[in-house]
Amino acid sequence: MELYAEIAELAAAGRAFVLATVVESQGSTPQKPGSKMVVLEDGSTRGTVGGGAIEKQIVEAAVAMHSSGEQSRLLETHLTHDLGMCCGGKMKVFLERHLAAARLFMLGAGHVGRELAGLAQRVGFRVTVVDGRPGWASRERFPDSTLMVRDPAEVARELSGGADCFFCIATHDHPLDQACVEALLRKPFAYLGVIGSRRKAERFKLRLLAAGFTEQELERLRSPMGLFIYALTPAEIAVSVVAELVSVRRSSVAAREAAHAPAPAKR
């Protein structure tokens, strides 16, 4: 039960891991079916599937899965013939990769931000809400999100970004929105969107071009953010934005899996 508790902690913290499970064994083997081990991206482990050469093989395969995007793998190993172990048996181990939860930074704790954060949390995003107004970025309004009662532009300048980062900008002030965009646009991210009308988006584009950003850089910005579903209320706007976030998240996973899928057999 201790390993399951550790798995729950890793999932709650948004950590990526590979779960290795012994699914079949024959003859003399160090572990029997049902034994499990967790392998993190750095190769550290929780639990065991036998130690020695077989565990080393599994850890190496799991670390490779973290970097390749491969979703699952079945390893079948003869402990003596393949690894030189004295056990003499065979083991089949199933490896399954569990992705890290995507991080959503909600810059702005207004009405849309509140609805968006709650819905994004429900579909698996780790949400951080940033707003300098304590009355808006409150635990009462955001019971399940990480809160930062700070200036959103200042936080945006400090964030390093990353392939698992999603940024939604919906502050109470247009110049503050733009300052956040300027701070984030050249950083790595999966998604960067700004709330607003098409007219606001065009004004932003002109100002960003004047500030030295290129057309190619501006293509990374989603503005207005969200799918076009004639949304009007804060809750409807949140639905449109979260739908777009899920689309981006799922399409990136599908692209990684397709890139590492075996080529179809030639006929």
Q: What is the reported pLDDT for 91?
A: 78
pLDDT at 200 (0 to 100): 87
How many CA atoms are closer than 13 Å to the CA of 35, on its beta-carbon side? Answer: 18
How confident is the model at residue 107, as a pLDDT?
A: 98
For helices 111-122 and 234-259, what crossing angle results, to 10°?
40
pLDDT along the chain (267 residues), means of 10: 83 83 75 84 85 80 82 76 57 85 94 96 94 96 95 96 92 94 94 92 90 92 93 95 94 55 49
User: Taking Cα atoms as reference points, which of 48, 51, 54 lies closest to residue 81?
Assistant: 54
Domain with CATH 3.40.50.720 in the chain: 103-255
Q: Which CATH architecture has domain 103-255?
A: 3-Layer(aba) Sandwich (3.40)
Give 18's strand partners: 39, 97
Write down the pLDDT at residue 110: 96
